Amino acid sequence: MATNPPTGDGHRNGAIRNRSQVHNPKNDRWTKRDSDTGRFIDQKSDKKPFKGVKKEK
């Protein structure tokens, strides 16, 4: 868990674990994925990638 002080400053210290993101070129959106099961979790509504989530190649 990334909970380094100071709290409430609006940014994360460290990466989100067991998650990755992949770009979908068909709709030009980023999709978050669980690394353990491989299931898709969430998709961004804008065209920017998720913050703090590693990108797949």
Residue 9 gets which letter from DSSP? S
For residue 7, being part of any structural domain is answered with: no
**CA pair distance 36, 22, nearest whole angstrom:** 15
Give the tens place of pLDDT for each residue, 15-57.
Answer: 889 999 999 999 999 999 999 999 999 999 999 999 889 999 8
* Burial of residue 44 (number of CB atoms within 10 Å: 0-12, 13-18, 19+): middle
For residue 2, pLDDT beyond 70: no
Sorting pLDDT into bands at 50, 70 and 90, what band is 9?
confident
E strand intervals along the chain? 19-24, 29-34, 40-43, 54-55
Overall pTM > 0.75: no
For residue 35, being part of any structural domain is answered with: yes
For residue 46, being part of any structural domain is answered with: yes
Instruction: Supply the pLDDT for residue 1.
Output: 59
Structural domains of the chain, count: 1
Query: CA dihedral in degrees (37, 43, 48, 51; nearest 10)?
Result: -50
Q: Which domain holds residue 46?
A: 19-55
Instruction: Supply the pLDDT for residue 33.
Output: 97
